[in-house]
């Protein structure tokens, strides 16, 4: 094992100036046009092919990528029959590191649906810049990824930096669970090769003051619980007390899998032991974040978080299961609600599961808990159509930990912090299985208030600039480390 840590010598002043200018002059205007494109993921736009918005977003990003002054850069849109397109880019590296070990950089361009609640003057497809924030759907989640990746590479080419072989994948199906991506990974396997570093720009940051690296991601099990008690609605005065409310039955069933008092999930397979190192990292993250652990959320006046221990709140968000009811059918709008005992209630259930839990086992346990011994003999249907395992990063190599901290100190002025995220990126588990020896840097711009998937989503521009410079720093560290380790065993890289 080698413990050699590469020393990255870059003119960080010139790198920062170049990245700042690139964002202001090119990237922000490009993102403003991208935000205007309603490129909703296929799960939210069944007619995405006919509507053409995903293709428009692909063409928009592709056109900019082809204008980069990066010699030997290959840009291609790959299309598999019946699947969302993917932008594939490749660069062999800068001599003497050309053709060496590979870095895979990842992002996506599809978006979540509109969501209500945008404040006056804002909207999902309306780019608005207010000081350091660029509002609109998809900028930070994560339309910026292609621009940041190539700008980092271009900065190294301009200012005597080095990098090894780079492959960039920008997919169009992430918000639908990345169900198209495995087919592209298989189709492009020979061209991709075997990356030993994966840089994913689709995650979050605990604050905008330092570089954050995601160490784990929760998985997801979501679907629909339906309760049928009548064939048709009946007068509530006539039937209530004899016929149980379908909503009350649904509430009973939810109590089987969710403690309404504490929020604890009552499904054994959805609860795991949290690794000690993740507990330690949560404590460090809590020290850095303070009350921002919970203050970043838009609580109404008088509301509070589910607990007061900050480290435990982080673990609740990143390692413990949590159930949310995210939609319903069968309940009329308030103005249309008559005195009727409704025949059916359907609820959309979203269960976030721990990084190391097995989603397939949880589905079996959920279906059993919800449908066995139905109250009052009601017809109960539980169907889970989105099933994704979480991901726990492999142990961090010494060189990558040092390079990440160095990059954060150089461009943010503070050390890097490591923390799990509560969301799901199916791509990570997929890559972890295909490339078990790879190291991972999972980071992004989704920080306090950015509200990904919700109203008033924004990208924090200064953090985007600093993160871009950090990517350049890490690409060079990878090249130097790979060269230094050539011919000798690595330390997990």
Residue 2: the pLDDT is: 41
Provide the pLDDT confidence category of residue 3 given band limits of 50, 70 and 90. very low
Give me the CATH topology for the region 219-272+319-388: Alpha-Beta Plaits (3.30.70)
For the segment 353-372, the average pLDDT, to the nearest whole number, is 97
Q: For residue 25, count CB atoms less than 10 angstroms from its CB and return exposed for 0-12, middle for 13-18, buried for 19 or more.
A: exposed
Tens-digit pLDDT profile for residues 148-195? 999 999 999 999 999 999 999 999 999 998 999 999 999 999 999 999
Query: Which is nearest to 143 in space by CA: 62, 213, 250?
Result: 62
Q: Does residue 43 register a pLDDT over 60? A: yes
Question: Which stretch of 31-45, 74-88, 353-367, 421-435 has the lowest confidence by average pLDDT?
Answer: 421-435
CATH 3.40.630.10 positions along the chain are 12-217+391-485
Query: Which is nearest to 469 in space by CA: 21, 4, 6, 5?
Result: 21
Average pLDDT over the chain, rounded to an integer: 94
Query: Are the beta carbons of 229 and 244 closer than 8 angstroms?
Result: yes
Q: In the numeric block, which tokens belong to residue 261?
A: 């008092």
Percent of all residues in the chain with a pLDDT value above 70, rounded to a whole number: 97
Provide the pLDDT confidence category of residue 433 given band limits of 50, 70 and 90. confident
Query: Which is nearest to 172 in space by CA: 242, 99, 251, 85?
Result: 85
Residue 4: the pLDDT is: 63
Residue 484: the pLDDT is: 63
Residue 177: the pLDDT is: 85
Alpha helices in 290-343 (DSSP H): 292-295, 310-318
Tens-digit pLDDT profile for residues 77-123? 999 999 999 999 999 999 999 888 999 999 999 999 999 999 999 99
Q: Does residue 488 register a pLDDT over 60? A: no
Provide the pLDDT confidence category of residue 486 given band limits of 50, 70 and 90. low
- pTM exceeding the 0.85 threshold for the entire prediction: yes
Higher per-residue pLDDT: 484 or 129: 129
Provide the pLDDT confidence category of residue 491 given band limits of 50, 70 and 90. very low
CATH number of this structure's domain 12-217+391-485: 3.40.630.10
H/E element, 463: helix 461-485
CA distance 75 to 122: 34
CA distance 283 to 276: 11
CATH 3.30.70.360 positions along the chain are 219-272+319-388
For the segment 24-47, the average pLDDT, to the nearest whole number, is 98
């Amino acid at each position: 094992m080698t413990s050699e840590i590469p020393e990255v010598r870059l003119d960080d002043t010139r790198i920062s100036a170049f990245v700042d200018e690139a964002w202001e002059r090119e990237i922000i205007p490009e993102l403003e046009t991208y935000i205007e494109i309603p490129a909703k993921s296929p799960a939210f736009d069944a007619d995405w092919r006919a509507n053409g918005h995903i293709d428009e977003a692909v063409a928009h990003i592709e056109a900019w990528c082809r204008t980069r002054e990066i010699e030997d850069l290959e840009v291609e849109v790959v299309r598999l029959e019946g699947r969302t397109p993917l932008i594939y880019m490749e660069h062999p590296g800068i001599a003497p590191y050309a053709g060496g070990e590979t870095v895979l950089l990842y992002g996506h361009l599809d978006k979540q649906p509109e969501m209500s609640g945008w404040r006056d003057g804002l909207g999902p497809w309306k780019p608005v810049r207010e000081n350091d924030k660029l509002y609109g759907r998809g900028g930070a989640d994560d339309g910026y990824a292609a621009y940041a990746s190539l700008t980092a590479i271009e900065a190294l080419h301009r200012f005597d930096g080095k990098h090894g072989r780079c492959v960039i994948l920008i997919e169009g199906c992430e918000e639908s669970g990345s169900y198209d991506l495995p087919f592209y990974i298989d189709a492009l396997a020979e061209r991709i090769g075997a990356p030993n570093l994966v840089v994913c720009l689709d995650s979050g940051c605990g604050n905008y003051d330092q570089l954050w690296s995601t160490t784990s991601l929760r998985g997801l099990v979501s679907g629909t619980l339906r309760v049928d008690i009548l064939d048709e609605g009946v007068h509530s005065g006539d039937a209530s007390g004899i016929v149980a409310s379908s909503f009350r039955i649904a509430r009973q069933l939810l109590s089987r899998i969710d403690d309404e008092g504490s929020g604890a999930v009552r499904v054994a397979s959805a609860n795991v032991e949290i690794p000690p190192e993740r507990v330690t990292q949560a404590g460090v993250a809590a020290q850095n974040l303070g009350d921002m652990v919970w203050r970043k959320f838009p609580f109404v006046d008088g509301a509070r978080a589910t607990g007061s221990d900050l480290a435990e709140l982080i673990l609740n968000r990143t390692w413990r299961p949590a159930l949310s009811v995210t939609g319903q059918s069968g309940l009329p709008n308030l103005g249309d609600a008559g005195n009727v005992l409704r025949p059916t209630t359907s609820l959309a259930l979203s269960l976030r599961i721990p990084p190391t839990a097995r989603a397939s086992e949880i589905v079996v346990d959920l279906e059993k808990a919800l449908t066995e011994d139905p109250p009052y003999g009601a017809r109960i249907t539980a169907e889970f159509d989105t099933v994704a395992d979480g991901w726990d990063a492999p142990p961090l190599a010494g060189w990558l930990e040092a390079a990440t901290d160095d990059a954060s100190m150089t461009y943010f002025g503070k050390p890097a912090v490591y923390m799990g995220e509560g969301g799901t990126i199916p791509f990570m588990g997929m890559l972890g299985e295909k490339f078990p020896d790879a190291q991972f840097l999972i980071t992004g711009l989704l920080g306090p208030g950015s509200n990904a998937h919700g109203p008033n989503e924004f990208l924090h521009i200064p953090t985007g600039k600093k993160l871009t410079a950090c990517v350049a720093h890490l690409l060079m560290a990878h090249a130097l480390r790979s060269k230094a380790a050539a011919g000798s065993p690595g330390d997990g890289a």
